[in-house]
Amino acid sequence: MSAEPRGDGVTGFPFDAPRDGSWKLTLPCTRAEADALAGDLPTLALLDPPPTLMTSEPDPDAPDAWRLDAYFEAEPDAASIRLIRDLVPSAAGTAPALEHVPEEDWVTLSQEGLAPIHAGRFWVHTPQHGADDAPAGSVRFAIAAGRAFGTGHHETTAGCLAMLDRLRRAGHHYGNIADVGTGTGLLAFAARSLWPSARIVASDIDPVSIEVTVENAAANAVPVGRARTAIELVVAAGLDHPRLKARAPYDLLIANILAGPLVELAPVFARALAPGGTLILAGLLQTQAEAVATAYRRQGLRLAEDARFGDWPTLRLVKRAARPARGRARKGVAVGMGSWSTDGAI
């Protein structure tokens, strides 16, 4: 699945509510506990279906007083409530608040608090709110809160948007771009707006995310498909797809997923990146940034920038250019630049 972390300090991650609504369990938590909820939570696998977790900072003047909201598709039993309480030890002794959220309130709830995000030149708003408030000259995208991650309201996505904007302002140009773990398609849309002549492919391990990307593309007048200026969409884990292999090497690769997969995919991404190419990584905690950067240094990439949007890092790495091979090169053929072979494991 695509990949903004759970525990969104801004809005959280809405899901498709059942026809009779959902149930919300609310507990206080600390900032540290909220950050911890951004990682993988194996204990949630004990619940079927697992709840959707949302964290928020109700009062900016009380930076350590956060709130956890857990949304269930059915009324949770005592065991489920205990499991959620165990995630936030600071709430011991606090009675959890449990309430039913009717279906007719879900859309309103999912859009509440989704103030437009301004990152670089980009203005990201929901279809219902914020379009008219966009600053002059901004690039606007309407992205609905819904079935996929990547609405732009989490700092990881906003950080990637800001990074892309800075690269364009600095004069960088890219002709072959991949967005891995695209979620809602937003980062691929943003890249296309910055480099309209580039070939762009967006992938996600979750077929639902690709469906959502198609819907968002239509809403934002972004063409999808294999046409030269369209965004090609692929369901794949990492770069494990013939189309993704065939289109490599990439001079810009974006991956807003989680720290664990980013480390595992380091050899794959490094191999798929052209010499001198740019890699943008997000979806990791600050405490995970060094481990992720180290995994890519071992693959011949250097860390060019470690930027934060809020408390979440966005890493920009550059693949070192290959040294020219000794000896004579045939006219018109670059020697020593390496190549991408579809026979290699991805």
Please tell me the distance from the alpha carbon of residue 53 to that of residue 79, in angstroms, as a whole number: 17
Q: Are residues 153 and 195 in the same domain?
A: yes
Four-point Cα dihedral 299, 303, 306, 312, nearest 10:
0
Return the CATH number at 267.
3.40.50.150
- 283 in Cβ contact with 262 (< 8 Å): yes
Q: Which amino acid is at 261?
A: P
Answer whether residue 28 is part of any domain.
yes
- Find the length of the chain: 346
pLDDT reported for residue 286? 85
3-class DSSP state of 333: coil
Distant-in-sequence, close-in-space partners of 54: CB < 8 Å, separation ≥ 6: 7, 8, 11, 12, 13, 68, 69, 70, 71
Please give the helix or strand (H or E) that residue 187 lies within, else none: helix 186-194
Answer whether residue 8 is part of any domain.
no
Look at residues 61, 52, 63, 72 and name the one whose alpha carbon lies nearest to residue 11: 52
Look at residues 170, 321, 165 and name the one whose alpha carbon lies nearest to residue 254: 165
pLDDT reported for residue 39? 63
pLDDT reported for residue 9? 31
Answer whether residue 11 is part of any domain.
no
- 33 in Cβ contact with 66 (< 8 Å): yes
**What does each of the 346 residues of the chain score in pLDDT, given as a tens digit?**
343 333 333 333 333 334 456 889 999 999 889 888 866 677 787 888 888 888 877 777 787 899 998 888 889 999 999 999 999 999 998 999 999 877 544 444 544 545 788 899 999 988 777 778 888 999 999 987 654 444 445 678 889 999 999 999 999 999 999 999 998 899 999 999 999 999 999 999 989 889 989 999 999 999 999 998 999 999 999 999 999 999 999 999 999 988 899 999 999 999 999 999 999 999 988 889 999 999 999 999 999 999 987 678 999 999 988 666 555 444 333 322 222 322 233 3
Determine phi and psi for 227, rounding to 5 degrees.
Answer: -65, 155
Q: Are residues 33 and 139 in the same domain?
A: no
Q: Which of 73, 101, 129 is a domain's end point? A: 101
Full residue range of the structural domain in which residue 297 is found = 117-319
- 316 in Cβ contact with 36 (< 8 Å): no
Q: Are residues 83 and 143 in the same domain?
A: no
Return the CATH number at 67.
3.30.70
Number of Cβ atoms within 10 Å of the Cβ of 128? 13
pLDDT reported for residue 40? 63
Q: Are residues 208 and 78 in the same domain?
A: no
Answer whether residue 46 is part of any domain.
yes
List binding-site positions for S-adenosyl-L-methionine: 157, 181, 204, 256
Look at residues 319, 315, 326, 324 and name the one whose alpha carbon lies nearest to residue 291: 315
Answer whether residue 213 is part of any domain.
yes
pLDDT reported for residue 131? 78
DSSP 224: B
Q: Which of 101, 133, 150 is a domain's end point? A: 101
pLDDT reported for residue 308? 84
Distant-in-sequence, close-in-space partners of 179: CB < 8 Å, separation ≥ 6: 185, 187, 188, 191, 200, 201, 202, 203, 254, 255
Q: Are residues 92 and 232 in the same domain?
A: no
List binding-site positions: 157, 181, 204, 256
Please tell me the distance from the alpha carbon of residue 170 to that of residue 130, in angstroms, as a whole number: 28
Q: Are residues 142 and 264 in the same domain?
A: yes
pLDDT reported for residue 346? 30
pLDDT reported for residue 145? 62
Pairing of strands 273-282, 312-319: antiparallel
Give me the number of domains the chain comprises.
Answer: 2
Q: Which of 101, 133, 165 is a domain's end point? A: 101
- 125 in Cβ contact with 131 (< 8 Å): yes
Distant-in-sequence, close-in-space partners of 153: CB < 8 Å, separation ≥ 6: 8, 10, 11, 114, 117, 124, 145
Strand partners, 178: 201, 253
Please tell me the distance from the alpha carbon of residue 189 to that of residue 101, in angstroms, as a whole number: 33
3-class DSSP state of 264: helix
pTM of the model: 0.66
